[in-house]
Amino acid sequence: MSAPDSPPSQAKIGPVACLAFAVGVMVGGGVFSLSGIAINDAGPAALLAYLIAGGVMLLSALSFVAVSARAREGDSGYGPVGDLLGPGWRFLVMWAFYINAVTLMTFVLVSFGHYLNEYFVSAIGPLPAALIAIGALSLLNMGPIDNVGKAETYVVAIKIAILIFFVAWGLAEIGHASFTPFSPDGSGGVLATSALLFTAYTGFNVVTNIAGSVRDPERNVPIAIIGSILISATIYVGVIVAMLASGVRDFGDAGVGQAATALIGDWGGYLIAGAACLSTLSGANANMLGASEIALRLVAQGDAPPAAGRSTAGGRPFVSVLTAAAIAVALVLLTDLNAVIVFSNVAALVAMIVVNVAAFRLARRGWPGRGMRLPGGILIPVLAAVACLLQFPSFDLGQLAIGLALVAAGMPIYLSRHSNAFGGQEMERARRALATLSTPLHRAMLHTPFRRRPAE
């Protein structure tokens, strides 16, 4: 392995790595924890809630595809937002997705704690387990990262295979499922539940982080973004059907394991719990990598203090890792899981609204340059932005305010970017890492076991 600042052949990332990472982030807490919450809140209409959330996310994802595929060589998919709307809006999108990544990491690690506590190590409570996992992932991201890509791809394959097995077993028992009343709380309950489920679909932003470093971005970025949402939505719907077939009426924090135990037996519950622990850990790690990537790019752009991108001798940005870990620890200790979900969703919705506005601007200009041209001109960006805005009334007002405050907290950082403290060695190291495609996220996504040629 060459030194981080001089990787061989300026290797680009192929579609397999992009798709594996995106699906890996989505199919974590989004299925192993949120599925039970969705059924408890919406009944069988959780099926519809997942589809609504996926549909709204897919509309915005099309805007992301149109915008991010126009990224310059080596830039992130957020770069065109700055070209279209101004650098302040680019910062807002990146900061919002940084908050989304850190809060989503917290959420899936608490989910990990619940499965570990209920099925494997009852002596360690869910919250202590989550804290231990935060420390372990922090240490992992301080060391060699290349093998993480291989491990992530294998974990994604294992958990999807296990979930397909669970879904197939559930479909065989579909006669025991009760779909009445379909929506106990009416349309309001369905919409409120769908607003909580956006977290289940935000994993595609790991592709947006490095769109300019993807091989053939006009083809592979859309494949990874749209494909990951469609794959995840299919899995979510199948899991909900299987959970309904289990006959369980009230799901706990380890809901999918609870359903598997009722449907298959004790061994089925342990099988699902093992997949949940692997999945949530890998998803949390992917989010930590994504957050570090965003922090590094903000430093390179001069939008964040150079200290935020400080790296080890091996090129690992340890300050951004420790910052993400500190925020996660605070969230674990100070708030509940439902609030963390809301914070994550609010940040993602803010980012998506801004990107939809950028796509609107692109449409008004006739979709110049390379990249996807969305049918209907401004129609898809407008529908996507309106759909995002309509989600906000479904959130608890206090939690919504905190989520917006977390997003707004980044603006003082941006507004002070011209102070004398901004510049110097750390900024240049961040720029060099990005220019040579040697960031931890890039190296992790590059080293998958399914490379078909050296360029991938």
* Contact (CB, 8 A) for 317 and 311: yes
Residue 383 CA, chain-centre distance (Å), reads: 22
Q: What is the CATH number of domain 8-442?
A: 1.20.1740.10
- Within 10 angstroms of residue 302's Cβ, the number of other Cβ atoms is 17
Q: Please give the pLDDT value at position 163.
A: 93
d(CA 192, CA 345): 12
Residue 214, helix vs strand vs coil: strand
d(CA 90, CA 85): 8
d(CA 53, CA 370): 29
d(CA 408, CA 144): 34
Q: Is the pLDDT of residue 202 over 50?
A: yes
pLDDT band at 269 (very low <50, low <70, confident <90, very high): very high
* Range picked from 34-38, 68-72, 445-449 for highest mean pLDDT: 34-38
Tokens of 407: 């997003």
What are the sequence ranges of the domains in the chain?
8-442
Contacts of 260 (CB under 8 A, 6+ apart): 166, 246, 268, 269, 271, 272
pTM of the model: 0.87
Q: Is the pLDDT of residue 3 over 60?
A: no
pLDDT digits (tens, 9 = 90+) for 143-155: 665 556 666 667 8
Rg of the Cα atoms in the chain: 21
Tokens of 78: 């957020």
* Contact (CB, 8 A) for 456 and 17: yes
- Average pLDDT for 195-201: 86
**CA geometry: angle 324, 413, 340, nearest 5 deg:** 40
